Amino acid sequence: MNLNKSTAYRTKSVVLRRRDLGEADRIITLFTREHGKRSAVARGVRKPGSRLAGHVELFTVIDAYLIVGSNLDVLTQASSINIFPKLAEDLRHFAQASWASEIIDKLIPDSHPDSFLFDLLVKFLELATNSGDIIHLHHFELLALQKSGYQPQLDACAVCGEHLDPSSIRFSAHNGGTMCPSCPSNLQTHKLSTASVKTMRWLLAHPLGQASILKINNQLIGELAYTTRVCLENAIEDPLRSGELFSPSPDSLVAH
């Protein structure tokens, strides 16, 4: 379906972010399944008794009715399909949902549909609500990078292609993945354990939601968190603000 000016359309959406506009309106950023990321005005949504208000909370999955505008669409109706109240009640769960939503917001261009990433985000929001296990977030990050064309090289040196020495694996997001000790890098690299490399390979080969069977300690989580973060920020060429709530940047991993 082509979205020309004044076209009315209906689509399944996730509320990624929102900001106030004027005295009573809000601009809502939606990730829609059929039409990608769209920004829309929700008029009067901040007025008492607004019918839209309860359906445009952050991370809510909605059935949205919109009209295409010149710069912004207009959200005329919405009904909730799936709400996640626990995300607003628990800072840890909220931080994970914010991080995942910001990743999608930064990775996906406007009006670029991607049903796989849409379903991936909805699945992750369900996991963040019901489990909150941080491994699901790192699984989500890697699958989002993979689908967006930024999957890191983990099977050999990303520079020379040689096999990796398990005792001295380095990682460089700028160079595209793991590196052998022989290849120089003018950019920051960090140490990576064999366990981390094997875990990331496993995560990339399995659907989101299956990682709960893995036995992962805090050191491994730290390596995964730092590695996925530098990969994401290298891909989008911009810091991710939501990560300040929880994402570690362990200095002990950094090796120039």
Residues 121 and 99: their CA atoms lie apart, in Å, by 11
Q: 170 in a domain, yes or no?
A: yes
Instruction: Assign 3-state DSSP to the chain and report helix, strand, coil percentages, each to 5.
Output: 40, 25, 40
Residues 128 and 205 both lie in one domain: yes
Residues 185 and 217 both lie in one domain: yes
Residues 118 and 196 both lie in one domain: yes
Tally of residues, the chain: 256
Indicate if the pLDDT at residue 254 is higher than 60.
no
Residue-wise pLDDT for 99-117, tens only, equals 999 999 999 999 999 999 9
Q: 2 in a domain, yes or no?
A: no
Residues 79 and 91 both lie in one domain: no
Residues 70 and 113 both lie in one domain: no
Six token digits for residue 198: 């094997």
Instruction: Give the domain extent around 246.
Output: 87-255
> Percentage of the chain surpassing pLDDT 90?
82
List the helix and strand counts (H, then E) for the chain: 6, 9
Residue-wise pLDDT for 183-220, tens only, equals 987 778 999 999 999 999 999 999 999 999 999 999 99
The b-or-e profile of 71-84 (16+ CB within 10 A means b, else e) is eebebeebeeeebb
Residue-wise pLDDT for 123-173, tens only, equals 999 999 998 799 999 999 999 999 999 999 999 999 999 999 999 999 999
Indicate if the pLDDT at residue 245 is higher than 70.
no
Q: 3 in a domain, yes or no?
A: no
Residues 112 and 190 both lie in one domain: yes
Q: 1 in a domain, yes or no?
A: no
Q: What is residue 226's predicted lDDT score, i.e. its pLDDT? A: 94
For the chain, give the mean pLDDT.
92
Residues 58 and 18: their CA atoms lie apart, in Å, by 8
Mapping DSSP to helix (H, G, I), strand (E, B) and coil, where does residue 162 land?
Answer: coil
